[in-house]
Amino acid sequence: MTLGSDVSGMTATAASAAAKGLSIVVPVYNEAAGLDGLHQRICDLAKTLRQRYRLACEVVYVDDGSADATLSIARSLPADAVDVQVVSLSRNFGKEAALMAGLDHARLGAVMFMDGDGQHPPDLVEQLVRHWIDDGYDVVYTAKAHRDNEPFLRRVAVHGFYALINWGARQKIPEDAGDFRLLSPRAVAALRQLPERNRFFKGLASWIGFRQIRVDYEPAPRTHGVTTFSAARLLGLSIEGVTSFSVAPLRFASLLGVILAGGAFLFGLSILWEVWTTGKQVPGYPSLVIGLMTIGGVQLIMIGIVGEYIGKILSELKARPIYFVAEHSEKRFETDKADD
């Protein structure tokens, strides 16, 4: 692996890009209504990339146990300018697992993650590809340009989440970064080497390092349907993300313990001082109850936090596969037709 930071390195990157290609991984869960339209846009994009960068493209649709016609529609999509793989999981495993399945099946070197609901505009892909091929970046990630249209509480929660997960971290996860990202072949190889089962792609893609660049974009509205990520599910994902990625909550627990113990010690000293100087009996009942309740509550929360980590250790230890593939089909695009 070369660093690719000097001119010759970049030429090498461009050359290998031309020799290989780009796998677009699209997780789809009940996206039947918009899939045809999305595929059409991806095919148009693939034609452009083939002409301008001599880049071969493949699209990997990962059907995450959809209950509607998503799978049959995906199977019927034509290999027009792209190779099409359809990987159908045995049930709904969640988006992170679907992305992992896509990553495992991607064959063409570089990988691009894109949502199946039309919110990640294929038109932006060319810009991301340019950063990879022309500028030699390894991780080209996109971030929401702004969150003006989101409720205030949600913005506060998101900010708190990133503050917590990045607390004390050497490699910070960029705030607002989404799953819409392009990974160069060596970044893909690095991601594939990570052995953990609890995956949080935004975090991992940042953690691997290499040359990274941010591209701001405005997410399009969903072409159909509604989001599957409710507030409760987002909270679950946040706990998942933080516990599988950082030990900040544990450190926070220790710190809080030190602060509380210190406070209690000072409080004890002040009582001693009062008794000593005034000779009065200090009425103890309310302060006792408050002290007990504070310590009791804090301890329960901290046991809960430790429990989250123990749960994580258990699931890593069980070492179960992240997903099962029920069906896999593929269609190859005949390259000779393209060269006519």
Partner from ligand UDP, Mg ion, none contacting 228, C-beta within 5 to 8 A by type: ligand UDP
CB of residue 114 to Mg ion, shortest distance in Å: 11
63 touches Mg ion by CB under 5 A: no
CB of residue 3 to ligand UDP, shortest distance in Å: 34
Instruction: Please say which residue, 178 or 257, places its beta carbon nearer to ligand UDP.
Output: 178
CB of residue 227 to ligand UDP, shortest distance in Å: 3
Contact 184, 139 (CB under 8 A): yes
The residue range among 86-94, 116-124, 187-195, 328-336 that interacts with Mg ion, by the rule CB under 5 A, is: 116-124
Q: Are strands 139-144 and 83-89 parallel, antiparallel or unpaired?
A: unpaired
The residue range among 6-14, 107-115, 146-154, 313-321 that interacts with Mg ion, by the rule CB under 5 A, is: 107-115
Instruction: Please say which residue, 64 or 138, places its beta carbon nearer to ligand UDP.
Output: 64
Instruction: Please say which residue, 178 or 291, places its beta carbon nearer to Mg ion.
Output: 178
Instruction: Please say which residue, 211 or 224, places its beta carbon nearer to ligand UDP.
Output: 224
Contact 112, 25 (CB under 8 A): yes
| Chosen residue from 76, 119, 198, 228 binding Mg ion by CB under 5 A | 119
C-alpha 158/C-alpha 172 separation (Å) is 15
CB of residue 228 to Mg ion, shortest distance in Å: 8
Instruction: Please say which residue, 227 or 287, places its beta carbon nearer to ligand UDP.
Output: 227
Cα–Cα separations (whole angstroms), residue 284 to 2, 237, 267, 295, 307: 69, 44, 12, 16, 34
Which tokens is 256 given? 């809080």
CB of residue 162 to ligand UDP, shortest distance in Å: 16
Partner from ligand UDP, Mg ion, none contacting 203, C-beta within 5 to 8 A by type: none
CB of residue 202 to ligand UDP, shortest distance in Å: 12
CB of residue 187 to ligand UDP, shortest distance in Å: 21
Contact 313, 257 (CB under 8 A): no
The residues binding ligand UDP (CB under 6 A) are 27-29, 31, 64, 92, 94-95, 98, 115-117, 119, 227-229
Binding site for Mg ion (CB under 5 A): 115, 117, 119
